[in-house]
Amino acid sequence: MAESTPLRQIKPAKGILEYLAIRKIRNDNRMFMTADTKKISVFHQLMFCWFMPKDFSLYVCTEYGKVVGYMLLRKKQDTYLITEAVDRRYRGMGIASDMIQFAQLLCKRLAADILNTNIASINLHEKMGFKLKIYTSYKKTYVWESPL
């Protein structure tokens, strides 16, 4: 019997097509990022994915096999810095919540740097149990720690 693709899957990013889909979502949302806000070229994206530094892990969320969001985790000592973005056609469907929940099963401590103007992301992280730790006139740093 043929294996069907699950409706929603979160998994490590793999292969050129997924890397390019991540680039598209990243470039469409770069104005929401707190670091490296310039657009990424195809070459830059492929080099990053193929030679990813050991402290980074990149995940995709797919719906019926189509990449609809991505999540990047960067390990810094005992904390993983988390960034996520969802294709705008698929927002409001719990995709970012599912990706964060996935990270919460993998990591004991997560931190997110969020622009003060990014209300959707602030609400999202507060809903997922993150607490405000540091505040500047530009961005807020939210932290989540596993209760276990």
Ligand X SMILES: CC(C)(COP(=O)(O)OP(=O)(O)OC[C@H]1O[C@@H](n2cnc3c(N)ncnc32)[C@H](O)[C@@H]1OP(=O)(O)O)[C@@H](O)C(=O)NCCC(=O)NCCS
Residues that bind ligand X (CB under 6 A): 29, 32, 83-86, 91-97, 112, 114, 118-121, 123-124, 127
Structure tokens belonging to residue 131: 């607490």
Q: Give min distance, CB of 29 to ligand X, in A.
A: 4
Q: Give min distance, CB of 55 to ligand X, in A.
A: 18
Decide whether 13 or 96 has the Cβ nearer to ligand X: 96
Classify 85 as helix, strand or coil: strand
Q: Give min distance, CB of 47 to ligand X, in A.
A: 23
Note whether 104 and 134 are within 8 A (CB): no
Instruction: Report the distance separating Cα 44 and Cα 100, nearest Å.
Output: 26
Strand order in the sheet with 56-63: 8-12, 56-63, 66-76, 79-86, 109-115, 139-145, 131-135
58-83 per-residue burial string, b: 16 or more CB within 10 A, e: under 16: bbbbbbeeebbbbbbbeeeeebbbbb
Q: Give min distance, CB of 61 to ligand X, in A.
A: 9
